[in-house]
Amino acid sequence: MAIDQTTDRRVYSADDPIIEIRNAAVTYDEGRSYVLDHVSLELERGEILGVVGESGSGKSMLASSLLDAVPSPGHLTGEITYRPDGEAPINLLELEKADRRSLRWEDISMVFQGAMNSFNPTLDLRTHFEETLRAHDADIKKGLGRAEELLEDLYLEPDRILDSYPHELSGGMQQRALIALSLVLDPDVLVMDEPTAALDLLMQRSILLLLSDLQEKYNLTMVFITHDLPLVAALADRMAIMYAFRLVEIGDTRDIVENAAHPYTRALLNSTPNLDAPLSEMQPIDGQSPAPINMPTGCAYHPRCPLATEECRTEVPDYHEVETDHGSACYHWQASYDEVPLLHENSPGDTTGGVDE
Amino acid sequence: MNNYYIKRTGRAVLTLWVTVTLTFGLIRAIPGGPLEMLRARLVRQGVDPSRIDAIIQSRQQESQPIYVEYYEYMSSLLSGNLGESFYFREPVSDIIIDALPWTVFVMVMATIILFAIAVVWGALIAYKEGSTFDTASSGLSILLSSVPFYVLGILFVVVFSYKFGVFPARYRTSPGVSPELSFLFIQDALYHAALPIASVVITQVGLQTLAMRGNSIQVLGEDFVRVARLRGLSDRRIATRYVGRNAILPMYTGFLTLIGFNLGGSVILEEIFTYTGIGYYMFEALINRDYPLMMGIFLVITTALVLSVYIADLTYGLIDPRVKSGDSNEAY
């Protein structure tokens, strides 16, 4: 029953894409195994896309791919197209070294996980800002003015922060300073890889609030990568779920949270801590996610999936269109509603760790 | 922050005091002593036993209570009086003042040169980690470190001084060249110091290179280097301000203490090259059981080591901002 199976880009396409990813794949052993397995995705101009996946599911590889910055000796193939507003599209993977260097941070910028290690411990923050501006031939004075404004937007005292060394700031301050540093050249796209991973819940919450303010003020397109589904559900317009180096479900945040159509997404929602539900109702997913050198054939989730059939074991499923702009890479997505019932009512607004709007 | 400097100074002074007191005790615990040595020599020379007793008697000082001796020892030390050398019949302080600058010159030069080479070479290897250059360099480093400096020194004397005669085999300068600020003097001093410096550099550079290689590889894997690349910083700036600076940090204390250690290691080196620095005099003092001279030089060497660690502590904050604010107060 493959009537609704679709290989076209309907489910992940955007009306006005700023970045198009086609079959992006990352390999470290000349194609014997993939740590990002032919992912296709489009990023709508001005949206916040949340990418959710567990540890080792390829999230960071997807983030790095957006800047063609896969750690060496990884090899990135596929097609990544950046479409600046009103200008000719740029194929990221075919750029000269100098062009790539100027595109990064000026057009597409990134915040890494672990801000504590993102600053050079022997340089103060002003130097970090100045050298970034200098490396891109930007006006230093204007750039520092922008940096001060950004720091203020992030509720930091610009003078104090700029004259500090990284170790003199708290984790939350470093994280916010890093966000300011990533935006100092006025990029269009900001990729954030677990930006709140090392922070406490209160700080996570306030950084999320700040991010949505920044997104509006500076008209940013954001990709927010995390393992914390409820956290990003409160912020993102659209969500993509990753499992074993592939995207398994994509759709509007509300559709994903309330009407998830992939057994993995549904199990993930059930395994998420919820303040309203007793601990005993939390359901861990049995088994482990696969390693890249030991990928199951067919759908990578089939060894853990209650719905798995022969088809799942042999053929990698394509997206099935659940609704408009909502796709699930599962042959049995319809059955998943009954087989994997959601334990509690979810909605993007009131999930744990989220932001009350 | 001030507390830090006070603590460091206090620790340095305490270390020196302990050393001085230990030498005071050790020297008294050594069996024999210069008078026994003198008696043995006189006996060998066939001097009449009763005369020997008289000579020894005349040299013998009246023994005093130990705390009086300690007090006198400390007070004369503080006034710069290290006693008189039995063998050279000269005040120990004069010998040290004459010899020390030469040893410091050789060892400081050698240590600076070897660190300069190690930092550049180690960083280059780190950038080419896993290449043939890496394998060859690491192998060479270990090979060089396993050669003792005195073996290389003797080899140098044999080959360059005696066989080919391109370098002098002894002394600090050529006869007739007087210490003054002239081109001739500096040239002559460097010419004479070249072989001792080379033997230290060649035998010690390997270990430091491997240390720099390890540090650099570690820093290259740090997130901030990756972020710096993404921020578009030039490779040159990343190599110097990001990788280089952070990789050198742990080596800085090692650098200063190695200067101190090398001053102590000059004993055999200067004997091989007949280079009349404090090491040479230490050797002579050992052979002749010249305790005052031995003690004087021993104190100088210890002081040098304590001082180099002290300087390292005081200046570490200048290269690592994290120390300045007391985030970590151990430089080693």
CATH of B87-324 given 1.10.3720.10, 3.40.50.300, 3.40.50.10490, 3.30.70.100: 1.10.3720.10
Q: Which of B128, B218, B224 should be substituted to probe chain A, the one whose Cβ sees the most A Cβ atoms within 10 Å?
A: B224
- Residues sharing a CB contact under 8 Å with residue B137, sequence separation 6 or more, in sequence order: B121, B125, B209, B213
Specify the higher pLDDT residue, B226 or B176: B226
B125: closest CA among B198, B211, B199? B211
Whether chain A has a CB inside 8 Å of the CB on B226: the answer is yes
Other Cβ atoms less than 10 A from the Cβ of A35: the count is 22
Whether chain B has a CB inside 8 Å of the CB on A120: the answer is yes
State residue A125's pLDDT score: 94
Integer-rounded Cα Rg, in Å, for chain A is 21
Q: Which two tokens stand for residue A109?
A: 């910028």
Residue A73: is the preceding peptide bond cis (ω within 30°)? yes
First-to-last C-alpha distance (Å) of chain A: 42
Minimum Cα–Cα distance from B317: chain A residue: A122
Taking 80 as the threshold, does the pLDDT of residue A279 lie above it? no
Taking 90 as the threshold, does the pLDDT of residue A241 lie above it? yes
Q: Which two tokens stand for residue A92?
A: 């990221």
CB atoms A119 and B242 under 8 Å:
no
State residue B328's pLDDT score: 45
Specify the higher pLDDT residue, B157 or A1: B157
β-pair partners for A190: A109, A222
Taking 70 as the threshold, does the pLDDT of residue A346 lie above it? no
Q: Which two tokens stand for residue A181?
A: 């540093």
A253: closest CA among A342, A308, A148, A326? A326
For A272, phi and psi rounded to 5 degrees?
-80, 130
Q: Which of B1, B129, B217, B230 should be substituted to probe chain A, the one whose Cβ sees the most A Cβ atoms within 10 Å?
A: B230
Specify the higher pLDDT residue, B44 or A144: A144
Residues B24, B30, B36: CA angle, nearest 5 degrees: 115
Q: Which residue type occupies B158?
A: V
State residue A7's pLDDT score: 52
Taking 80 as the threshold, does the pLDDT of residue B243 lie above it? yes
- pLDDT-derived band at A189 (thresholds 50, 70, 90) equals very high
Whole-Å CA distances, B151 to B111, B146, B214: 19, 11, 28
Query: b/e per residue, A68-78, with b = 16+ CB within 10 A?
Result: bbbeeebebeb
Q: How far apart are the CA of A184 and the nearest CA of chain B, in angstroms?
A: 10
Taking 80 as the threshold, does the pLDDT of residue A333 lie above it? yes
pLDDT in tens, A64-119: 999 988 888 889 999 999 999 888 889 988 889 899 998 999 999 999 877 778 99
% of chain A at pLDDT higher than 90: 39
Q: Which of A66, A112, A120 should be substituted to probe chain B, the one whose Cβ sees the most B Cβ atoms within 10 Å?
A: A120
- Residues sharing a CB contact under 8 Å with residue A251, sequence separation 6 or more, in sequence order: A11, A238, A239, A261, A322, A323, A325, A326, A327
Residues A231, A235, A236: CA angle, nearest 5 degrees: 105
pLDDT in tens, A38-66: 888 899 999 999 999 888 888 889 999 99
- Sheet of A75-82: strand order equals A34-44, A17-27, A75-82, A90-91
User: Taking CB atoms and an 8 Å cut-off, how many pairs form between chains A and B?
Assistant: 67
What is the greatest pairwise CA distance in chain A?
Answer: 64
Specify burial of residue A350 (Cβ count, 10 A radius: 0-12, 13-18, 19+): middle
Minimum Cα–Cα distance from B320: chain A residue: A122
Specify burial of residue A151 (Cβ count, 10 A radius: 0-12, 13-18, 19+): buried
Specify burial of residue B37 (Cβ count, 10 A radius: 0-12, 13-18, 19+): middle
Taking 50 as the threshold, does the pLDDT of residue B319 lie above it? yes
Cα–Cα distance, B316 to B311 (Å, whole number):
8
β-pair partners for A48: A222
Cα–Cα distance, B286 to A133 (Å, whole number):
64
A210: closest CA among A263, A168, A261, A155? A155
Taking 90 as the threshold, does the pLDDT of residue A348 lie above it? no
pLDDT in tens, A244-278: 999 999 999 988 888 888 999 988 888 877 666 67
Q: Which two tokens stand for residue A84?
A: 């600046």
Query: Mean pLDDT in chain A?
Result: 86
Whether chain B has a CB inside 8 Å of the CB on A110: the answer is yes
Q: Which residues of A touch B218 (CB under 8 A)?
A: none
How distant is the alpha carbon of residue B6 from its chain centre?
26
Quick check: helix, strand or coil at residue A76?
strand
State residue B61's pLDDT score: 65
Q: Which residue type occupies A47?
A: E
Average pLDDT for B10-26: 88
- Residues sharing a CB contact under 8 Å with residue B89, sequence separation 6 or more, in sequence order: none
State residue B112's pLDDT score: 94
State residue A347's pLDDT score: 61
Does residue A82 contact residue A103 with C-beta atoms inside 8 Å? yes
The domain ranges of chain B are 87-324
Average pLDDT for A206-233: 90
Indicate the Cα dihedral angle B297, B300, B304, B310, nearest 10°: 150
Cα–Cα distance, B193 to B273 (Å, whole number):
9
